[in-house]
Structure 1
């Protein structure tokens, strides 16, 4: 059986596990869909398969209005891959092409624009401009259908260079004008206004799609145990909690709110309050990484659930996620600050750091009062009066200085192996801390934190050696979480 035959079987069975992994386009209708589209399955001879929505759009197909293929979770493959294509896909998702152009993308990757273009076309069927265009189109559709912003405001907020380009793109992707898309929104009686945290207004409501199962309770527990005062807060009771946090974004501060919603199938409710609407894509991607929404729990379970050592915890907690970082620089500083401290002690140290050096918001929101300290501020800070040892203060200043001067890059397209080598060369950063930064800040799904006391204890109890743990790759980060869960 060929790969395309397997894909056609997935389409025939409406298998949602493959949503975002590939897309199919129908030559007789001129539309493309996600594999789980509820429409009647087309004949095999009329179908073409594509790795990305952008590739289908570049081939002249428009998005299905019924299954909205542009709104599916991203492919977990791009997070797992450490090559230039995986790094480029993560950077494009973070909005780098919109902010810095293809030249900026290539510079971050250390390749020429021609090399980046060629590799992306060969691997995913679309170049960086087409991939960014598809993302802009999705952002614009969300704003059209959830806000009262004027079309011209939405055009520039989504990253388009002109209103004409915006109109042409929306017609090409959705076969509808912006006005028609707005009139077709669901819940027409619900309209949302401006989105600035400085005005205290409503914000942009989103549904952040993910693959099921999703162990929401565990990731909310993780965030609640580590929430820093002024930066993060959890409201509501278990099962109906809302995680709220401040964000440092290119256009100014933002606030994100994510609801637990255990009954929601395939999505988490989110509301973003932004100073600059152009930060919508960046903010969305950061929250997706924090909640690990592009993970493939079926692939993880297939590898780890058949391992005798992990079969029981995988069965007991299907869909366990690895919490990422809403701000990788913050995650790196917190990893160094926490060191070998307990979770509670690391949280107290973080609270003290935020109180001393966090940037106050012009307008507070509930318990959210500050942004996490900027790396440049910490690099020059004395850090006295925080109860930290001299060695820990030196380590904090060293990593903050490396981030501030650009020596250490923690953006989504960072070279993970190279970054780990740079981290280990810094004073006070050992393998455990470097591994935590690689797992959380860089979103690497293949990090086994064998230096962690809880993980080491679980491996001893289960009789697993470090060499035997190689069978968990490329999902060692998820194995780490299941080992902690099993303790």
Structure 2
């Protein structure tokens, strides 16, 4: 049986000394560009931090580097109270990589290990549990159980410090199998009891109903500049009636939508970033089942492309004289993904207006409408018998698993399947790849090789000019 001790098989490679010296320079300069890309731990204090931690820089001989927070935790280090390393954006590498490790990380982020265990993760990836364990541990310093555990701990901390939910409810909402497991994990990672964590934020213990009514307030972290206006413009242009809405004026808008989640449904709201708030987007999440919190957050992160590395993207694209002025004018442009990949595939085929009609005719109506939000977008199986042959073929493939677009999908296999379906031209397939599959490097021009591996971002710049 897999246990948390799996992380102990990781050993730092002596061949990484040069890389580690570069990392130490980033720590010495408190460079926020590397937050989430790696973590450092201090042997004399037993604490691990993000590179931009404001604490005094430790001596090099006392510093160790880890690729993930889970790896640092597995070696007995506790999370820093000042820099909260568990709250950093995820590494942009997992969006770029289409291999089994990248797919596994995205699935773990979506809560698959919490819901289906490591065997379920392995089945989705098409590998044995031993192969998945070995590959993740070799590259990330932690296996799937440890990675999921670190994520559960972060979710629990957020709930403890932002809601009045009873501790028992929080334990199971975060994905822990028992209250004892929850208590032990919080003590190990934060060196405090759950009650002590809650007292730091001043959150009073209360009944769960209050949290459901008010929604869970969250700060969705991102690294570097974030061109929020372009993202919100796009979402406003695409919004499907009944499922999405955009309220407010440019610069102070709120995007709201419904979500179908593994255990229930949700309504999410994300505010357009204000210049003085940099570093995160304000969000509120209303859930019918709190166990869906991790999944809802990850889907928002993909929709708003919050784990991107704008420094790497802008540097690459600015090297092309054609794009340089566009990058200078809009630093931090993102390539939005999709909150529901299957939904986006259908929308890309039929268009916004028809998507609204499908929602009204086939979508599930919310028990309690919330303003203009009245429905969940129809599930693929509901549309599989639709009289439109192209729509029926696409949704049937999604419903029976012949086409997978979820966080852990094999991108190459998905694209091959898309090309076999009727009614999907090259442009539509490219849009599905870019948005539903979250590919950062989708191109279509002969001269765009210079933009690799960020062609999807170049497309966003060029689309803004064309508009």
Q: TM-score, normalised by structure 2?
A: 0.94
Equivalent residue number for residue 387 of structure 1: none
Equivalent residue number for residue 9 of structure 2: none
Q: 1:293-351 CA distances to partner (integer Å, 9 max, x unpaired)?
A: 0000000011101111211111111011111100011011111113xxxxxxxx22222
CA distance in 2, matches of 1:376, 1:52: 38
CA distance in 1, matches of 2:48, 2:413: 39
Q: 1:58-109 CA distances to partner (integer Å, 9 max, x unpaired)?
A: 0110000100000000000011001110000000000000000000000000
CA distance in 2, matches of 1:234, 1:104: 37
Equivalent residue number for residue 463 of structure 1: none
CA distance in 2, matches of 1:8, 1:214: 26
Give aligned pairs, total: 449
Equivalent residue number for residue 456 of structure 1: none
Equivalent residue number for residue 137 of structure 1: 153
CA distance in 1, matches of 2:317, 2:188: 42
Equivalent residue number for residue 477 of structure 1: 456
RMSD over aligned Cα atoms: 1.5
Residue of structure 1 aligned with 2:425, choices 421, 430, 444: 430
Q: 1:12-55 CA distances to partner (integer Å, 9 max, x unpaired)?
A: 00100000000000000000000000000000000000111001
Residue 308 of structure 2 aligns to a residue whose secondary structure is coil
- Whether 1:328 aligns to 2:341 is yes
Residue pair 1:146, 1:192 contacting (<8 A) in 2 also = no
CA distance in 2, matches of 1:217, 1:191: 37
CA distance in 2, matches of 1:173, 1:447: 39
Residue pair 2:166, 2:207 contacting (<8 A) in 1 also = no
Equivalent residue number for residue 62 of structure 2: 46
CA distance in 2, matches of 1:409, 1:109: 11
- Whether 1:66 aligns to 2:82 is yes
Residue of structure 1 aligned with 2:32, choices 16, 28, 38: 16
Equivalent residue number for residue 389 of structure 1: none
Q: 1:203-250 CA distances to partner (integer Å, 9 max, x unpaired)?
A: 111000001200001100000011111100111111111100000011
Residue pair 1:196, 1:275 contacting (<8 A) in 2 also = no
Equivalent residue number for residue 152 of structure 1: 168
Residue 268 of structure 1 aligns to a residue whose secondary structure is strand
Equivalent residue number for residue 372 of structure 2: 367
CA distance in 1, matches of 2:207, 2:284: 11
Residue 259 of structure 2 aligns to a residue whose secondary structure is strand
CA distance in 1, matches of 2:446, 2:131: 37
CA distance in 1, matches of 2:21, 2:457: 30
- Whether 1:123 aligns to 2:128 is no
Residue 130 of structure 1 aligns to a residue whose secondary structure is helix
The Cα of 1:261 is off from its aligned counterpart by 2.8
Residue 130 of structure 2 aligns to a residue whose secondary structure is helix
Say if 1:320 and 1:190 are closer, same or farther in 2 by CA, change over 3 A.
Answer: farther
CA distance in 1, matches of 2:228, 2:298: 18
Equivalent residue number for residue 184 of structure 1: 200
Residue of structure 2 aligned with 1:269, choices 267, 270, 282: 282
Bigger drift between 41-50 and 233-242 goes to 233-242
- Whether 1:445 aligns to 2:445 is no
Residue pair 1:313, 1:485 contacting (<8 A) in 2 also = no
Equivalent residue number for residue 407 of structure 1: 402
The Cα of 1:486 is off from its aligned counterpart by 2.5
CA distance in 1, matches of 2:417, 2:435: 16
Residue 433 of structure 2 aligns to a residue whose secondary structure is helix
- Whether 1:194 aligns to 2:223 is no
Residue pair 2:302, 2:338 contacting (<8 A) in 1 also = yes
Q: 1:228-286 CA distances to partner (integer Å, 9 max, x unpaired)?
A: 11100111111111100000011111100001132311000000000110000000000
The Cα of 1:195 is off from its aligned counterpart by 7.0
Say if 1:196 and 1:107 are closer, same or farther in 2 by CA, change over 3 A.
Answer: farther
CA distance in 2, matches of 1:40, 1:16: 15
CA distance in 2, matches of 1:194, 1:381: 40
CA distance in 2, matches of 1:33, 1:71: 11
The Cα of 1:467 is off from its aligned counterpart by 3.2
- Whether 1:166 aligns to 2:182 is yes
The Cα of 1:410 is off from its aligned counterpart by 1.1
CA distance in 2, matches of 1:66, 1:160: 25
Equivalent residue number for residue 349 of structure 1: 354
Say if 1:134 and 1:446 are closer, same or farther in 2 by CA, change over 3 A.
Answer: same
Residue pair 2:164, 2:211 contacting (<8 A) in 1 also = no
CA distance in 2, matches of 1:188, 1:260: 26
CA distance in 1, matches of 2:19, 2:340: 37
CA distance in 1, matches of 2:340, 2:161: 28
Residue pair 1:207, 1:270 contacting (<8 A) in 2 also = yes
Equivalent residue number for residue 286 of structure 1: 299
The Cα of 1:196 is off from its aligned counterpart by 7.8
Q: Which runs of 5+ in 1 are unaligned?
A: 339-346, 383-392, 451-465
Q: 1:349-370 CA distances to partner (integer Å, 9 max, x unpaired)?
A: 2222212111100000011000
- Whether 1:88 aligns to 2:93 is no
The Cα of 1:148 is off from its aligned counterpart by 1.2
Residue 214 of structure 2 aligns to a residue whose secondary structure is coil
CA distance in 1, matches of 2:437, 2:354: 23
